[in-house]
């Protein structure tokens, strides 16, 4: 797995944001002076990932100057668009067949009968390509205490000073 202090691998993936499909190229965001929060998860509608993405939405990180938030799952951009609509997720949601997850070292060989999806993981990539936060878990269904959103909050504020630091994840709202 890519570790804090390492250079982030570049990638390009199809994605959708606010209903508009596009190709998301990490080098364009970084060269444009933005940090990028990469939020990997195996599949849309996964309760733990949904709770985390909703916490990020509620914190408004996606609207902070100098920061882009990209959710990355194995699903198509069509599934991602439906997911974004259902949960009012305004950040970019990308579809990864296993390339980016593999580059970052967070790809399952097999998960729930699917081959090559991303694990639940988070990386904050600075505008200098430096990974300032790296977090991953093997268990896609287990809530984490503290949550990865809480773990990354201080680093998000470092790159986007107006960002909300006091963020919490309500796993119980999504996990039955």
Average pLDDT on 145-153 reads 95
Q: How many residues make up the chain in this entry? A: 176
Confidence of residue 176 (pLDDT cuts 50, 70, 90): low
Residue 98: which pLDDT band, with cuts at 50, 70 and 90?
confident
88: Cβ contacts below 8 Å, ≥ 6 apart: 57
Domain at 96, CATH number: 3.40.30.10
Quote the domain boundaries for residue 147: 12-162
Q: Is residue 105 part of a domain?
A: yes
Report the greatest alpha carbon distance in the chain.
42
The verdict on residue 7 lying in a domain is no
What are the CA-CA distances from residue 175 to residues 55, 81, 140, 143 (Å)?
14, 21, 12, 9
State the Cα–Cα distance between residues 16 and 22, nearest whole angstrom. Answer: 6
Assigned domain for 169 exists: no
Q: How many CB atoms lie within 10 A of CB 161?
A: 11
State both tokens at 97.
Answer: 């067949």
Q: How many domains does the chain have?
A: 1
Is residue 50 in a domain?
yes
Q: Tens digit of pLDDT for each residue in 16-39?
A: 999 999 999 999 999 999 999 999
Q: Are 48 and 120 in contact (CB under 8 A)?
A: yes
For residue 6, is it within any domain?
A: no
Decide if 92 is inside a domain: yes
pTM of the model: 0.96
Residues pairing with 119 in the sheet: none
- Per the domain annotation, does 167 fall within a domain? no
């Amino acid at each position: 797995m890519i570790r804090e202090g390492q250079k982030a691998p570049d990638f390009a993936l199809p994605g959708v944001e606010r209903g508009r499909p596009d190709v998301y190229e990490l080098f364009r965001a970084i060269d444009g002076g933005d940090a990028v929060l990469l939020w990997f998860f195996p599949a849309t509608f996964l309760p733990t990932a949904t709770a985390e993405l909703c916490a990020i939405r509620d914190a408004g990180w996606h609207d902070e100057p100098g920061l882009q938030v990209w959710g990355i799952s194995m699903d198509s951009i069509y599934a991602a668009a439906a997911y974004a609509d259902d949960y009012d997720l305004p950040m970019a949601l990308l579809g990864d067949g296993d390339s980016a997850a593999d580059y970052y070292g967070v790809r399952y060989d097999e998960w729930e009968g699917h081959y090559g999806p991303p694990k639940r993981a988070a990386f904050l990539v600075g505008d200098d390509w430096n990974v300032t936060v790296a977090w991953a878990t093997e268990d896609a269904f287990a809530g984490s205490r503290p949550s990865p959103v809480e773990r990354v909050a201080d680093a998000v504020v470092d790159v986007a000073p107006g960002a909300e630091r006091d963020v919490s994840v309500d796993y119980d709202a999504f996990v039955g």
